[in-house]
Amino acid sequence: MSDAYLALEDGRVVEARGRVPGRTRGELVFTTAYTGYEESLTDPSYEEQVLTFSYPLIGNYGVRDERFESDRVHPRAGIAREFTDDVVEWLDSEDVPAIDHIDTRDLVTSIREEGAMKCGIAVGDDATPADAEAELAACKGMSEHTDIGKQVSAVEHETYRGGGEAQVALVDCGAKKSIVDSLNERGADVHVLPYDTTADEIADLDPDLLFISNGPGDPANFDDAQALVEEYVGEVPLAGICLGQQVIARALGGTTEKMDFGHRGVNQPVRDLNTGKVVMTTQNHGYTVGDPGDLNVTQVNVNDDTAEGLENDDLNVITRQYHPEAHPGPHDSLGFFDDVLGMVDADARRVAATDD
């Protein structure tokens, strides 16, 4: 064990138990999930953030790589009331600092009251409060990362076969593996493309569906993905999840805005405005759609009325702010992928009728 210090933007320096040594900085956020720590830690949407777990014990069912959502840990550090040795060994193998024996309930309350804040962490036998404060100062001095997509996106075109019933172009802004799996399970071939893919490259692929993935940071930083939406809306069915919803809304005349502390966890209630039905959802985002532009709001968050689902039947667009593909769950909204691929079938029938 070693010394550990967490310097917060509100001026406090909190002492903790060091589990994995290192120095780091980032935006301090929290998740309310009590399972799925492997999925959370490998979710690319947490890139450049420091993740606090509100559930007190993290690691009680071990670590298995088949549950990972990507090939590495994305948060810059992990914080918990208590980490098991399995999780500590995993984070250590990834050189990701970790601290525990900290009052995470107080930390989460601070984030809820003051909003997501910058922080600095110093862990090690020789770590001091001044080291953590130096990391915080460096974090405050950093300009916003406008090319964060480069850190989380596929480098080149990768294809995952699901049976060839539809060809899906998935623009990888930080996509979770479960999105690809959910589409493959329904017979679709998924072409995972870099976040800066051009319209000409999409034209060469000639997909049945253009899908914008989840990802980290401000949707305003994903200009290339937005340009693809602007180019192909009305020509090819469009779908998006999380950051994908925000990018599509911006492309269609809408606006996005930063939330105080975001939605991160597995217990976010969402109401469908057409049916009145409420489902529980998994979410991980710090931005939301303000004005939906040319899209219609079809689902809202029960807690704060933010937009959770957007659609435009005429343009063949459907998006969700939450993660229907969530693992380990809840799975209330997996039907989203059936609806998405249903747009492909409807578009094929429309094209056939036009040709006739």
| Residue 284 annotated in ligand binding | yes
Burial class (CB in 10 A: 0-12, 13-18, 19+), 282: buried
Burial 238-247 (b: 16+ CB within 10 A, else e): bbbbbbbbbb
263 is catalytic: no
242 is catalytic: yes
| Residue 215 annotated in ligand binding | yes
Identified catalytic residue from 38, 47, 48, 325: 325
- If one counts every other C-beta atom within 10 angstroms of the C-beta of residue 327, the result is 18
| Residue 243 annotated in ligand binding | yes
156 is catalytic: no
| Residue 329 annotated in ligand binding | no
Identified catalytic residue from 119, 139, 173, 242: 242
Taking the C-alpha atoms of residue 131 and residue 102, their distance in angstroms, rounded to an integer, is 18
| Residue 254 annotated in ligand binding | no
For every residue of 121-134, DSSP letters joined together read EEEETT--HHHHHH
- If one counts every other C-beta atom within 10 angstroms of the C-beta of residue 182, the result is 24
| Residue 217 annotated in ligand binding | yes
Sign of the alpha-carbon torsion through 273, 276, 277, 279: positive
The SS3 call for residue 100 is: strand
For every residue of 65-81, DSSP letters joined together read GGG-SSSS--SSEEE-S
Which residue positions form the known binding site?
45, 215, 217, 243, 246, 284, 286-287
Which residue positions form the known binding site for L-glutamine?
45, 215, 217, 243, 246, 284, 286-287
Q: Which residues are catalytic?
A: 242, 323, 325
